[in-house]
Amino acid sequence: MQIFAYVSLQRALPVIVRQGAKRRAFPWSSRWYSVVPPPRDSKEKEMLHRILRVDHAGEYGASRIYAGQMAVLGRSSTGPLIQEMWDQEKKHLEKFNEILAECRVRPTALLPLWNVAGFLLGASTALLGKEGAMACTVAVEESISEHYNSQIRTLMEQDPERYTELLKVIKEFRDDELEHHDTGLEHDAESVPGYWLLKNAIQIGCKGAIYVSQRV
């Protein structure tokens, strides 16, 4: 009887704690660690906010791209694969939502644009078939990994110790994106007609989106 109570308490405690944390609307009290250190001056704040804003926009866009791909290819044989990659992007987006709310970062005002553009990009490349969808994945994930790498470089140049937590998060996400990139290559991304053109066009679009999201 006591063992039963103890075990059920063990199971219930995390749920209670989680529910308690959810009910409270004030974030700086419900976590005792912070991924991003509080900025020391306005220059650092500007840099950190730009990084977080564009990362958030990137994950949001990636999530929408996979949604577009699922809308077309959801019921085909590649459906489960795309769903799996989409779930990982959703997890990334959730993490960045948390960080943005905690650090009071303004999300980019172009989110509705990335909403529509991402969905259209995913859907239109999926209409080219499974290879098209994979080619889009490869292009986008390559852009995103490059972008994460340059952010990691920036933060390492500044102060690796200060940003350890943030660097860990970005490195983990970059590794996930590289995994998606490799998955795309494995699943015949390069066999789509006009692969080089499609890939470069998408990458130019991504670069433009990154540039704009940092600022607007």
From 71-79, 105-113, 118-126, 140-148, give the range in contact with another protein by CB under 8 A: 105-113
What is d(CA 212, CA 190) in angstroms, rounded to the nearest whole number?
29
35 touches 103 (CB < 8 A): no
**Residue 101 interacts with another protein (CB under 8 A)?**
yes
Among 34, 83, 88, 97, binds another protein (CB under 8 A): 97
Nearer to another protein, 92 or 199 (CB): 92
Nearer to another protein, 86 or 96 (CB): 96
User: Within 107-136, which residues bind another protein (CB under 8 A)?
Assistant: 107, 109, 111-112
16 to each of 19, 34, 158, 176, how far by Cα in Å?
5, 22, 40, 31
Q: Shortest Cβ distance from residue 59 to another protein (Å)?
A: 11
Q: Shortest Cβ distance from residue 198 to another protein (Å)?
A: 29
Return the exposure string of 144-169: e unless at least 16 CB atoms fall within 10 Å of the residue's CB, then b: bbbbbeebbeebeeeeeeebeebbeb
User: Within 17-46, which residues bind another protein (CB under 8 A)?
Assistant: 25-27, 29
From 32-40, 103-111, 156-164, 172-180, give the range in contact with another protein by CB under 8 A: 103-111
3-class state of residue 39 by DSSP: coil
Phi, psi dihedral angles at 43 (to 5 degrees)? -65, -45
Give the contacts of 30 (CB within 8 A, at least 6 positions apart). 21, 24
74 touches 127 (CB < 8 A): no
> Binding pattern to another protein, positions 46-75, x when CB under 8 A?
----------x-------------------
Nearer to another protein, 9 or 71 (CB): 71
Applying CB under 8 A, the residues found at the interface with another protein are 25-27, 29, 56, 96-97, 100-101, 104, 106-107, 109, 111-112
